[in-house]
Structure 1
């Protein structure tokens, strides 16, 4: 197949918790290839680890330029300006600094008892044969992000709909995505105004009481809307895919407390979403034996990069001790996984994501040590059209 014959993207899913074989073939033969996105637009797909790191961190590949006319669309709906995901340094640096100042280690660590209690309550209601996604992963992810922001979890169904629509690749129409984005921003604008009038304990109140002017509320609205959307969708996929990976490839849940090395291997191995990790070239770049022209959009397959044998020996094998610092051997372990990104756009909520996943796995392991799938693994299906690609459902028993 030549570069004039673009491949469809994303690939159809293969066996559960295994990437489609097309990724391995591309890493070997066509590490940078043309693909046709669900929107019908053409882009470049990067599948090797080294190339992925370069695109994610190199200033020649821009997030802000995705807003400019003619950019290939990786998702439905119009992109919004002024977001963490549509800005470059120094604008991005200023936004990120503002958020990291409020989303500090103390605030994240203080959520551990809350996350534990929420997980315990959800498992009290889970019955054998139940769906772990609907009964545990989804409500836990929403409850945690609401607790962090300081917004009522009672509106979780509306929040979940907005998040699923905004991060949809092709599950919703352009009109549905635009409507969800607008409704989310209107709602968050009212929430930010209320927090400025009567500050509470959540992150929103921390952001609006940091001494900045009232007319800066627009940036706060976009920050918290981004956190709500990504904090929910990524953790739904993170928890669901982690449990699925452990049950299929590890044979069981981890022991308590969760080994940090195992947690990192779970994060490396169970990443499947690619569609929104995109950049736009602002100058011509030679990469993977091809010329990416200024204006071209590049999609980075973090899932494929994390399974690159050149970066992680025997990358297709789940190895709970791969990142064990007491046995660290760069030749065996490989470098850092890319599940939280790389460079200036490294996930600002990575510490919260690690904590939430760690607590979820610990509570599951302690309460349901014999947890297993209630259906054959081959019957588990990923959510089509979702950027983060969680299981559609995960029936479990014990």
Structure 2
């Protein structure tokens, strides 16, 4: 693989950007400034990580409505951070469901939906349980202390998605290394573009191999069933989306969720000891943690008025999931973690036509991993002071740098 980047950056690398308002957190919580904006102004102007000005939508009902109206709030605009005419822009957008509107979105999603059905998740459950068990056994053999991010939260969903995509075993470490780093907004633009080029090139090669010899993995199944309906570029984009969405979010949920439960020992005990408590716990953790800050930046598709604000065609629009999921319009006492309520209607997996395709897989992994971890290590505890835990503030998906634990 070439060491030079075929994509051209828009500008020279810039210093680490200031965190945009919807990415700012106080530990688990959105900052008071974001919550005050939601309660007082509803919609305002903000600056994105790439220096663009955008409308910021903060309330639950408004965010839900925006997610439900692709004819007004389009996902098909240019992907921020890349020159609109560049190879990088095309690589990120082609085949990526999150950058399509209906009917193109509908065409691609219909081909993928069958891979994430309830029946398919039942078939995958034994393998997910094996993967979780093998990592717990390895942690136990190595002994405490250990980093739960590196030894459990990250490798479990990473291995699941690699198997789903058919990534050969001996290529997985390097493959995932590029993926993890590419999400870090602190990296200079040129470095992120290089990582994207390498990752996209690898996935294009994976698709080419699957076309020559389709296996039983997702790419192989798509090629056998829809070979003439999907271009190689679309298949590569689908693989890129599933890779990022399929392991980054779940990995960060496993780490953050474990820390949240350690800080709420009574609720941890419920997840550990009561099988009926696990499903609602996963939903409440998705709401309360909101690991996806804003999701895909949207574009106003036409001139229209929304929530008292006049938007113009082409305006950038950002949806603040942390504030929306902590809105009183969704649940009572929204800043309190309560795993018994289940948080029906939360936006942790989005809503509408772009509701997360892989949500059933993410739920499956969390439903298996959380209780298995807590049962294996019933005395699980932090191995360093709580106030020294470092959060991944500049990552596109919120999480932890590491989580040292003992038992």
Shared fold (TM-score, shorter chain, > 0.5): yes
| 1:240-288 deviation per Cα after TM superposition (whole angstroms, max 9, x unaligned) | 1111221123542512535322221111112133143321111233334
**Secondary structure at the residue paired with 2:310?**
strand
* Per-residue Cα deviation, 1:213-232 (whole angstroms, up to 9, x for no partner): 28723211211121112212
Aligned length: 377
Equivalent residue, structure 2, for 1:136: 152
Deviations 1:64-123 (A, max 9, x none): 023599999xxxx64433421111000011111111123433333222222212222212
Tell me what 1:119 maps to: 132
Does structure 1 residue 43 correspond to structure 2 residue 54? Answer: yes
In structure 2, the residue matched to 1:62 is: 74
Which residue matches 1:226? 241
The gaps in structure 2 that reach 5 residues or longer are 1-17
Inter-partner Cα distance in structure 2 for 1:397 and 1:10: 33
SS in 1 for 2:295: coil
Closer, same or farther: CA 393–165 of 1 in aligned 2, 3 Å: closer
Cα distance in 1 for partners of 2:127, 2:352 equals 31
Per-residue deviation, residues 195-224 of structure 1 (Å, max 9, x unmatched): 222222211110110043287232112111
Note closer, same or farther for the CA distance 1:36–1:148 as it changes in structure 2 (3 Å cut): same
The aligned residue for residue 33 of structure 1 is: 44
> Relative to structure 1, is the Cα distance of residues 81 and 191 closer, same or farther in structure 2, using a 3 angstrom cutoff?
closer
Structure 1 residue runs without a partner (length 5+): 1-5, 324-332
Aligned partner of 1:175 among 177, 186, 190: 190
Contact persistence 1:71–1:295 (CA under 8 A): no
Partner of 1:330: none
**Equivalent in the alignment of 1:255:** 272
1:3-45 C-alpha deviation (Å, 9 max, x unpaired): xxx994345432x222221222111112211111222211121
1:255-334 matches, within 5 Å, as 255-256=272-273, 257=275, 258-323=277-342
| Aligned 8 A contact 1:268 1:339 in 2 | yes
Conserved 8 A contact 1:166-1:229: no
Aligned to 1:342: 351
Aligned counterparts of 1:387 and 1:213: Cα–Cα separation in 2: 34
> In the alignment, is the contact (CA less than 8 A) between 1:103 and 1:203 conserved in 2?
no
Do the aligned residues in 2 keep the contact of 1:274 with 1:299 (CA within 8 Å)? no
Secondary structure at the residue paired with 2:374? helix
- TM-score with structure 2 setting the length: 0.86
For 1:106, the equivalent position in structure 2 comes to 119
Q: Secondary structure at the match of 1:337?
A: coil
SS at 2:102 equivalent: coil
CA shift at 1:382, angstroms? 1.3
Change (3 A) 1:272 1:107: closer
TM-score, normalised relative to structure 1: 0.87
CA 1:17–1:225: 2 relative to 1, 3 Å: same
- Asked if the contact 2:21–2:34 (Cα under 8 Å) also holds between the matched residues in 1, the reply is no
CA RMSD of aligned residues (A): 2.5
Q: Which residue of 2 aligns with 1:9?
A: 21
- Does the CA contact (< 8 Å) of 2:97 and 2:105 recur in 1? yes
Matched with 2:106 is: 93
TM superposition shift of 1:62 = 0.3
C-alpha separation in 1, matches of 2:53 and 2:35 = 21
Change (3 A) 1:215 1:364: closer
